[in-house]
Amino acid sequence: MVKYLLSMGSNLGDRIANLRMAIHELRGAEINIERISSVYETDPWGTNSKIPFLNICLIIDFQQSPYQLLKLSLIHISEPTRHICLSSMPS
């Protein structure tokens, strides 16, 4: 398996619930989550929002190609206007 680092953040609605939902969705996508960092609150940047982000990082194992992981990099939450973007970098 190939190890990847994923960073995730949310600043909409119930931020911690959004992160938990994203983790749940990843587990359903045949991704083995090895470790999850603590949650960190950061100031927003790159957006007009004033709401702070909650951020986490994950170490994962994924059997498929990096391209396949990138295809999974946008996980839609229940409302169509809300999403969590995942950025990945092979280890």
Q: Is the pLDDT of residue 59 over 90?
A: yes
**Could you say which DSSP state residue 15 is in?**
H
Encode pLDDT of 23-54 as tens digits.
888 887 778 999 999 999 999 887 788 999 99
Kindly report the length of the chain: 91
Query: 87 versus 25: which is more confidently predicted?
Result: 25
Phi, psi (degrees; rounded to nearest 5) at 62:
-145, 125
Encode pLDDT of 63-80 as tens digits.
888 777 777 765 544 444
Nearest Cα neighbor of 5 from 52, 74, 73 is 73
The confidence score (pLDDT) of residue 58 equals 93
CB 6 within 8 A of CB 88: yes
CB 10 within 8 A of CB 85: no
The confidence score (pLDDT) of residue 4 equals 87
